Structure 1
């Protein structure tokens, strides 16, 4: 079957949403982010190394250290985040693994699946980290544990 995103992508979206909710006030400790997002701290540290290379966050070591967002969350699309961690999905590939589907013939569900894949792509390409932040604030949640992003 068709996989939309990995656990790494899910974690990175949660972490970026949390940072966006903090409105870039101060550097936030990884431990705090881990607690509020339910992402294991060692895994979160690794994720932050990766997204630091993408220049999505900035980090600071030391007593008042931590991480904060380095980009406007309204410009950070889900498609970019997921593609960074999982690679660009082949949205032309048959969801049922038929190699010839769409090339020389079409499987029974080709048109229906094609519409779905286009909708998924459009959603990921038009939804930003800021969109999730708005939803979180609108629902007045205390932590990301309560907001099911995916």
Structure 2
């Protein structure tokens, strides 16, 4: 599975809006520049994010986007699946009925488990965590800090809450 460019840009947009906070109007131009998203792409992405209820779009010269939900209430999975639909790794996972041997096939179970683990991992990461992680990374010069220990700890802690 590979994320679409739209999904990657949507994640960047949501991280940037999460930094600003819930209810704060942020201009399209600011988001495009700071999150490195082409403005024409941002308009389309915003429509999808607004339909999903994550943001509100304000039109006009003083327009922009407003984050509607607290960042800790929005998972990475929700945003990814808003942009690309339900995650699946191949057709037999998406439509088991399309394969005559799907339920007898050992590989089908591997694909299902891989998809489930990916979805679970993305569901455990919220945008407040991503903002926190980004602010930690920003304190180090480029390339000096490569560990994802703090985010992995957050994922592990959230995973334990589900059990």
Structure 1 residues 53, 118: CA separation in 2 closer, same or farther (over 3 Å shift)? closer
In 1: Cα distance, 2:48 partner to 2:71 partner: 17
Which shows bigger deviation, 121-130 or 9-18? 121-130
Q: Which residue of 1 aligns with 2:55?
A: 57
Per-residue CA deviation, residues 61-81 of structure 1 (Å, 9 max, x unaligned), is: 334321121111111111111
Per-residue CA deviation, residues 14-56 of structure 1 (Å, 9 max, x unaligned), is: 1000000112474111111111111110110111122122221
In 1: Cα distance, 2:123 partner to 2:57 partner: 27
Kindly tell me the number of residue pairs found equivalent between the two proteins: 136
Q: Is the 8 A contact 2:75 2:126 kept in 1?
A: yes
TM-score by length of 1: 0.75
TM-score by length of 2: 0.69
Larger proportion of helix:
2
In 1: Cα distance, 2:88 partner to 2:114 partner: 13
Give the unaligned 5+ runs of structure 2: 140-163
Structure 1 residue corresponding to 2:125, chosen from 118, 124, 127: 127
What CA RMSD, in Å, does the superposition of the two structures yield over aligned residues?
Answer: 2.8
Give the unaligned 5+ runs of structure 1: 142-150
Q: 1:112 Cα deviation (Å)?
A: 5.5
- If asked which structure has higher relative contact order (CA below 8 Å, sep 6+), I would say 1
